[in-house]
Structure 1
Amino acid sequence: MIGIGRRGLLAGTTGLLAAPGILHAQPAGGVKIGLVAVQTGPQAALGNQLKDGFALGLRHLDGRLGGLSAETIVIDDELRPEVAVTKVRAALERDRVDFIVGVVFSHILGAIMRPVTEANTFLISTNAGPSTFAGRGCNPFFFTTSYNNDQVHAVMGQVSQDNGYRRVFLMTPNYQAGRDAMAGFKSKFRGEVVDEVYVPLTQLDFSAELAKIAAARPDAIFTFMPGGLGVNLVRQYRQAGLANIPFLSTFTVDEATLPAQGAAAEGFFSAASWAPNMDNAQNQRFVRDFEAQYNYVPATYAAQAYDGAMLLDSAIRRVGGNLRDKDALRAAIRAADFRSVRGNFRFGANHYPVQDFWLLRVARRADGKFQTETVRKVFENDVDPWAAECRMR
């Protein structure tokens, strides 16, 4: 876990996210953000990516959002829904934040959705994108700068089809995002699912599951194992001598886990709407400055949080800093008038992005660090599968 002191944060479970131009006391006419980013346990690596990505966005904006001085209160959800709800309520009622932003895990988002939106406060998820809020559960106070969970996993289902794999072994954690991963993959794959294995979100020993894979001898495996789960699975997969079976994954081999996985992940595949090597000016600046500031390679958690800061800046600027007119502010957020690090980006009717998705492969850079790199575009301007069920117009 990256030390909070080095990041300019106040000690404790919440603190100010410091950047040039941000004051430690909320100035009149400013904007206050509650940033939900897990800072406890092995999944803190993902929360730190999210936190640092948002901080870089503010730094590039001179510490202001839409011309208003910005203050960010970091909320450690501790990967516990009841803790997240308590802390978010305090941010809304005591700290009077104007927006809740962030959230790595879908079950945390599910817990805080109601208290935030019922307070008529906009919730901008910069990572979690469960299907539950994309269709009939869509909400006028909810937007995400990431994706619908199903979409990313569907990329690997399509890749399996394109590669002619007939038998695939599936394994994910047993929570909403894991179930979405299974559904997303199967929405495109027409071959045989050898087995569907769900593991606890806290699992770190995969010996039993790896024995099943070895016995089944599938054409490929598909897995979604975020954070510490992915670190252990990749190491154990390589140690078990299974690397001859293609390793297709989502949020398992990425820039948040690669420093710990190292060469064990080289050549493994992933899918995303963004990669560090994307060739556009906004992304090149983001990656260059992120690595210079934090000394590690950004992942999607950071990129999507950076876009979240740019989205808020564009929306607040569009309404002239008037945060009280919720209808105008909603329209301004929906307009998404900013340059995304991923290139194509716009919101669909359900406030989930319409964007491109890519097949990625882990590569070792010339400096010895590992990153994911684009192989080919799989979906273009993709609309998530639940958007048609959203009645919000």
Structure 2
Amino acid sequence: MSFKHTTLAAAATAAISLAGTATAATIGLMAPLSGPQAAVGQDQVDGFMLALSLLGGKLGGQTVTVLTEDDQLKPDVGSQIARKFIDKDKVDVIVGLSFSNVLMASLPRIVESGTVAIATNAGPSPLAGVGCKPNVFSAAWQNDGAAEAMGKFAQDKGLKKVYLLAPNYQAGKDMLAGFKRYFKGQIVDETYTQVNQPDYSAEITQLQVTQPDAVFVFYPGGMGVNFVKQMSQAGLLGKLPLYSVFTVDGTTLPSLRDAAVGTVSGAMWDAALDTPDNRRFVAAFEAKYKRTPSEYAATAFDAAHIIDVAFRKQGQNLADRKALAAAVKAAGSEFKSVRGPFRFNNNNLPIQNYYAFEAVKEQGKVVIKQVGTPLPLHADAYQAQCAMK
């Protein structure tokens, strides 16, 4: 299989080369850049490249080349890209790593090589627990975290019965496990659907039969757009509370518009967070790309700043992979995240706040409002199983 750099990557490389006389480091960025989840991948690329631009085209004072590849949300393609990045391109760091199924498929060669990898859209439970690795990080989340926040939010609201849905892959299972960890009421049903399934009419009919107090779903990207719109078309939104994670966000809100009103989402970040660092990030992203960023852009933006601090610590000695991994670990506590508090736990996954956000309509426009912080400074449920200190 052959891989080609995207037009964006080529343009970015050309722009970056202007920042210095020689390329000192290479970053491989893998994300889904085609198909229903392309918006998720594009936001990661754009968030990373925005940070690089704001840092003067350098990370840690070193000029860089960024190579981007489309994993197509296919584990076998992702695995081949990881091998290409490591064996052919000799990258210093791999970023992105797509969805959890793609990350897990790419993991063997990454671990074998010792290459530092920073996920910006995955935190599978095996990697957080007994399968933790010293050279593999997530600048995003442990998959359960946002769902745990929604489980606690639903519990605090006094709900008794909830219907759960998610796509049938590792992250979907992690999300529903996370919700159930904090929600103590009755799970009336737990349904797993095909990845990228476009039609949810059968599932929506079934959940109506069970008469739950609320529905909780994990449907990122195009899946979320389809599900929420079909819930709206069935006349359920506004009558049946819809709680979600990675379903109503910056990538889907432009398509959902009024259909999103009233939905409540758990996340570690949203453009609505009112902090100086986040306001600057959102303003810069909107000015450059003419759209509101999603959490995927925020995590990639943060990942670039983590690498910036780590490269500064390492200087020119990027070939020492163990030392570079240690520098990345330390950088997690030193850089300023747009999401608020952040540091890497012993398992190289984040300790961070998880917020609750609601989509509301104000002056004719759908906007997101923060309505709580169910889990402040939250550590994942698997870190005790990780042997790393």
TM-score by length of 1: 0.93
**Which of 380, 384, 388 is matched with 1:384 structurally?**
380
- CA-to-partner distance for each residue in 1:298-335, whole Å, 9 max, x for gaps? 00000000000000001110122321223332222111
**Which of 316, 320, 334 is matched with 1:321 structurally?**
316
Decide which structure has greater helix share.
2
CA distance in structure 2 between the partners assigned to 1:366 and 1:313 by the alignment? 41
1:362 matches 2:359: yes
SS in 2 for 1:181: helix
Structure 2 counterpart of 1:279: 274
Name the % identity: 43
Structure 2 counterpart of 1:5: none
CA distance in structure 2 between the partners assigned to 1:241 and 1:38 by the alignment? 32
Inter-CA distance 363–292: structure 2 relative to 1 (3 Å threshold): farther
Q: CA deviation at 1:72?
A: 0.5
CA distance in structure 1 between the partners assigned to 2:362 and 2:308 by the alignment? 33
Q: For 1:212-231, list aligned pairs within 5 A.
A: 212-231=206-225
**Which of 337, 341, 358 is matched with 1:340 structurally?**
337
Structure 2 counterpart of 1:7: none
**Which of 296, 302, 306 is matched with 2:301 structurally?**
306
Inter-CA distance 20–359: structure 2 relative to 1 (3 Å threshold): farther
SS in 1 for 2:16: coil
Q: CA deviation at 1:94?
A: 1.4
1:173 matches 2:167: yes
Task: List alignment gaps of at least 5 residues for structure 1.
Answer: 1-9
Structure 2 counterpart of 1:237: 231
CA distance in structure 2 between the partners assigned to 1:372 and 1:352 by the alignment? 27
Residue 17 of structure 1 contacts residue 73 of structure 1 at CA under 8 Å; is this kept in 2? no
CA distance in structure 2 between the partners assigned to 1:281 and 1:365 by the alignment? 23
SS in 2 for 1:41: coil
Task: List alignment gaps of at least 5 residues for structure 2.
Answer: none
Residue 220 of structure 1 contacts residue 248 of structure 1 at CA under 8 Å; is this kept in 2? yes
Q: CA deviation at 1:373?
A: 2.8
- CA-to-partner distance for each residue in 1:348-393, whole Å, 9 max, x for gaps? 100001111111112346694x453311111111111100110012
Paired positions, count: 383
CA distance in structure 2 between the partners assigned to 1:14 and 1:20 by the alignment? 10
SS in 2 for 1:22: helix
Q: For 1:139-178, list aligned pairs within 5 A.
A: 139-178=133-172
Q: CA deviation at 1:12?
A: 5.0
Q: CA deviation at 1:25?
A: 12
Q: CA deviation at 1:250?
A: 0.4
Inter-CA distance 11–113: structure 2 relative to 1 (3 Å threshold): closer
| Corresponding letter in the other structure for 1:123 | A
CA distance in structure 1 between the partners assigned to 2:349 and 2:46 by the alignment? 23
Q: For 1:89-100, list aligned pairs within 5 A.
A: 89-100=83-94
Inter-CA distance 103–371: structure 2 relative to 1 (3 Å threshold): farther
- CA-to-partner distance for each residue in 1:74-114, whole Å, 9 max, x for gaps? 01001111111112211211111111101231101011111
SS in 1 for 2:64: strand
| Corresponding letter in the other structure for 2:97 | V
Q: CA RMSD of the aligned region, Å?
A: 1.9
Inter-CA distance 344–19: structure 2 relative to 1 (3 Å threshold): farther
| Corresponding letter in the other structure for 2:385 | E
CA distance in structure 1 between the partners assigned to 2:364 and 2:62 by the alignment? 39
| Corresponding letter in the other structure for 2:281 | F
TM-score by length of 2: 0.94
Residue 31 of structure 1 contacts residue 68 of structure 1 at CA under 8 Å; is this kept in 2? yes
CA distance in structure 2 between the partners assigned to 1:356 and 1:385 by the alignment? 15
Q: CA deviation at 1:344?
A: 0.3
1:61 matches 2:55: yes
Inter-CA distance 53–366: structure 2 relative to 1 (3 Å threshold): farther
CA distance in structure 2 between the partners assigned to 1:64 and 1:194 by the alignment? 52
Residue 163 of structure 2 contacts residue 190 of structure 2 at CA under 8 Å; is this kept in 1? yes
Moved over 4 A (4+): 10-14, 24-29, 364-367
